[in-house]
Amino acid sequence: MARGVRTIKVKLGKNGKEDVERIRLIRAAVGPDIALRIDANQGWDFATAVETLNALAGYDIQFCEQPIHHHYDNLLPELRRQSPVKIMADESVCNHFDAIRIIESGGCDYINIKLAKSGGILEAIRIADVAATYGIPCMLGGMLESRLGLTAKVHLAMSHENIVYYDLDTCLLGHLEDPVTGGAEYRGFDLEVPDSPGMAADIQAGFLARCGKATI
């Protein structure tokens, strides 16, 4: 994938005032040239989200993912009106029907697509296509998939012009073993995929032999 702007994503959402101080310190440490993204993981209530996002206005935040719980999607349009930080819907959008609902309500600036959340690549493509129709850019995120899943995500990102942001580091988090042969590979901060037919990725037979099995 093409080399882009270096970014830091910060998980917030527990205490608004502490979240602001955390971002202040990070921005002071990294300077103005690193893009900052934040993810509240549904952690703020509406009032805290409004207060915190306004307090973060001076720190050049690229966007905030899912500031409030998806049960309160009806409040997202008003939050977006009051927020100086752009809003990205994540847990609020699991399928393309959700995407239509959130976009038409005016509840988001961006959508985070995850293959595991949407149930697979077909529904992920539908979400991206709906968002493109409405002029809403998307990010491709992850949920601790292996590099096999990562490879599918990278192919999707490279084939869809409306996917313009990427959060694809989850294979580096918490995996004790990499059983994948071929496929997408990390090259520092960049991802590369083989120029081969299909995904060009597979799982090692020895690893599969050690896995539990169930017949349904």
Residues 80 and 106: their CA atoms lie apart, in Å, by 8
Residues 77 and 73: their CA atoms lie apart, in Å, by 8
The confidence score (pLDDT) of residue 4 equals 59
Strand order in the sheet with 7-11: 7-11, 35-39, 61-65, 87-89, 110-113, 138-140, 163-166
Q: pTM here?
A: 0.91
Pairing of strands 201-203, 180-182: antiparallel
List, in order, residues 6 or more apart from 104 with CB less than 8 Å away.
134
3-state secondary structure at position 68 = strand
* Ordered DSSP codes for 144-180: S--HHHHHHHHHHHHH-TTEEEE---GGGSS-S---E
The ranges assigned to domains in the chain are 7-175
Residues 37 and 216: their CA atoms lie apart, in Å, by 42
Sequence letter at residue 24: R
Active-site annotation, residues? 11, 39, 65, 90, 114
Q: What are phi and psi of 8, to 5 degrees?
A: -125, 130
Quick one: tokens of 170?
């989850």
Q: Which helix (H) or strand (E) holds 47?
A: helix 46-55
The confidence score (pLDDT) of residue 86 equals 98
- Determine contact, residues 127/156, Cβ cutoff 8 Å: no
Q: pLDDT tens for the chain, 216 residues: list them.
A: 334 578 999 999 999 999 999 999 999 999 999 999 999 999 999 999 999 999 999 999 999 999 999 999 999 999 999 999 999 999 999 999 999 999 999 999 999 999 999 999 999 999 999 999 999 999 999 888 889 999 999 999 999 999 999 998 877 777 888 899 999 998 887 888 888 888 889 999 999 999 988 888
The confidence score (pLDDT) of residue 187 equals 87
Residue owning tokens 């882009």: 4
CATH superfamily membership of 7-175: Enolase-like C-terminal domain (3.20.20.120)
The confidence score (pLDDT) of residue 3 equals 47
